[in-house]
Amino acid sequence: MEALTNRLKPVDRHKMSLWERIYLPAVFKGMVITLRHFFKRKATISYPEQVRPFSPVFRGLQILNRDEEGRENCTACGLCALACPAEAITMECAERKPGEEHLYREEKYAAKYEINMLRCIFCGLCEEACPKDAVYLTETFAPSNYNRNGFIYGKEDLLIPDPKTDPEGFAKARGSRINNPQGHGNER
């Protein structure tokens, strides 16, 4: 009877010789491979002392951007939440009150903005969907935590520092990716 698929392979059932039965050639082959890898450069990095170089297209922790006057760029349009395939972003919008022009650029702003980092897949679709350049993925790892609630970042955790009160923190948070939107950092 012929097999339905042609994946059937005949098995060689010849008797093993004494040399094959004691497995010495296989053991020596394994030792040669081990010794060859023993003298190669190690793949691991001693993290605190050495920093791993990342690709220019690395996507890390999200931030909410401000303009040079310190106003929030986010207008709570919800496009980032709609674009997120993991549904990690939740937001609630509110109307700007008179006298808050120095805090928000538009009439609407995000009163509540949360990202659940346990759901986030770092795809970058939120960054691409944002029409106001308010959401950016930085070159920072998502930090570790001991409980699940620590991975839900609110608006106060995601906003970069105010350029008027903390210009150094603002410049550091903006980084190379925001200054150069094509993703090419400072070439060294």
* Lowest-confidence region among 63-67, 157-161, 176-180, 181-185: 181-185
Q: Binding-site residues for [4Fe-4S] cluster, please?
A: 74, 77, 80, 84, 120, 123, 126, 130
* Total-model pTM: 0.65
Q: Decide if pLDDT at 19 tops 70.
A: yes
Query: Beta strands of 50-162 (E only): which ranges?
Result: 62-64, 89-95, 108-116, 135-137, 152-153
Choose between 94 and 19: higher pLDDT: 94
- As given in the structure block, the two tokens for residue 163 are 């350029």
pLDDT of 116-130, one tens digit each? 999 999 999 999 999
d(CA 138, CA 163): 18
d(CA 109, CA 36): 60
- As given in the structure block, the two tokens for residue 115 are 């990202």
Residues in CB range of 173: below 8 A, 6 or more apart? 63, 138, 160, 161
pLDDT at 2: 62
pLDDT of 127-172, one tens digit each? 999 999 999 898 887 678 889 999 999 999 999 888 888 888 887 7
Q: Binding-site residues, please?
A: 74, 77, 80, 84, 120, 123, 126, 130
Q: Which residues face 114 on adjacent strands?
A: 90
Domains of the chain, each with CATH number or no CATH: 61-174 (3.30.70.3270)
Query: Edge to edge, what strands does the sheet with 152-153 contain?
Result: 89-95, 108-116, 152-153
